[in-house]
């Protein structure tokens, strides 16, 4: 914790006052209480739109489970959101979902299967990992079988599914509203907050990764 605080203080000198103010302001609302998990999503425009929705709701992490496809957002669509959102890549398998579950997340597959709870009625009481499926096939059968619950978005027309990026945007927004209205302490703890502020600072600085690595080496932190 002390090392992180010192590191952030060191990096501040390379930031403009405006960028530092933004980092300190927006990081305070950040949360990993809702973790979006992409089940082999591949269309780069969808990936980019998902990143934007996640960042707009201040959930600053996405897990991309990859098999045949690479989660590679189109940077012209993200509008800079990729600077703030961490993408953790994992193999597409049940072991990866078990890893996420072991971190304390309840696994929710976004699907109409298994008597899904409708999003407006869902009560969020603990950290959840929302698994979104591919553009064509949806969430895979093995993921649905592994999930603790399934969650669905109500639809009122002939269309029976939303585009994956639209579904992610709706879920992120609705769940954020539920958290804002709750008494849940959903924001990052001090350790995670500092880790994120350091990452944001590094991403905001020209040659930030090199400056950061040199600092760590000099401090014998590595």
Calculate the CA dihedral of residues 29, 178, 183, 8 and round it to 10 degrees.
-10
Tell me whether strands 149-152 and 34-39 are parallel, antiparallel or unpaired.
unpaired
205 in a known ligand binding site: no
d(CA 73, CA 134): 15
d(CA 194, CA 204): 15
Tell me whether strands 61-66 and 34-39 are parallel, antiparallel or unpaired.
parallel
d(CA 100, CA 18): 35
Nearest Cα neighbor of 27 from 42, 44, 15 is: 15
Quote the DSSP letter at residue 83.
Answer: G
To which residue do tokens 């603790």 refer?
A: 148
Nearest Cα neighbor of 69 from 85, 53, 49, 46 is: 46
**Binding residue ranges for S-adenosyl-L-methionine:** 153
**Binding residue ranges:** 153
């Amino acid at each position: 914790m002390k090392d992180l605080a010192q590191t952030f203080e060191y990096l501040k000198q390379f930031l403009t006052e405006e960028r530092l103010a933004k980092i300190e302001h927006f990081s305070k609302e950040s949360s990993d209480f809702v973790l979006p998990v992409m089940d082999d999503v591949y269309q780069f425009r969808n990936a980019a739109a998902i990143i934007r929705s996640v960042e707009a709701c201040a959930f600053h992490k996405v897990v991309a489970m990859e098999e045949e496809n690479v989660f590679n957002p189109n940077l012209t669509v993200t509008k800079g959101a990729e600077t703030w959102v961490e993408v953790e890549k994992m193999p597409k398998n049940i072991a990866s979902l078990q890893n996420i579950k072991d971190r304390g997340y309840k696994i929710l597959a976004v699907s109409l299967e298994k008597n899904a709870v409708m999003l407006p009625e869902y009560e969020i009481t603990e950290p959840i990992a929302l698994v979104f499926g591919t553009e064509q096939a949806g969430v895979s059968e093995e993921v649905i079988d592994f999930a603790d619950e399934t969650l669905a978005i109500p639809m009122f027309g002939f269309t029976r599914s939303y585009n994956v990026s639209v579904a992610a945007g709706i879920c992120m927004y609705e769940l954020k509203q539920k958290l804002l209205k709750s008494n849940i302490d959903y924001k990052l703890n001090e350790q995670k907050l500092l880790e994120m502020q350091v990452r944001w600072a590094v991403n905001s600085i020209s040659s930030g990764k090199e400056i950061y690595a040199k600092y760590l080496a000099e401090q014998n932190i590595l």
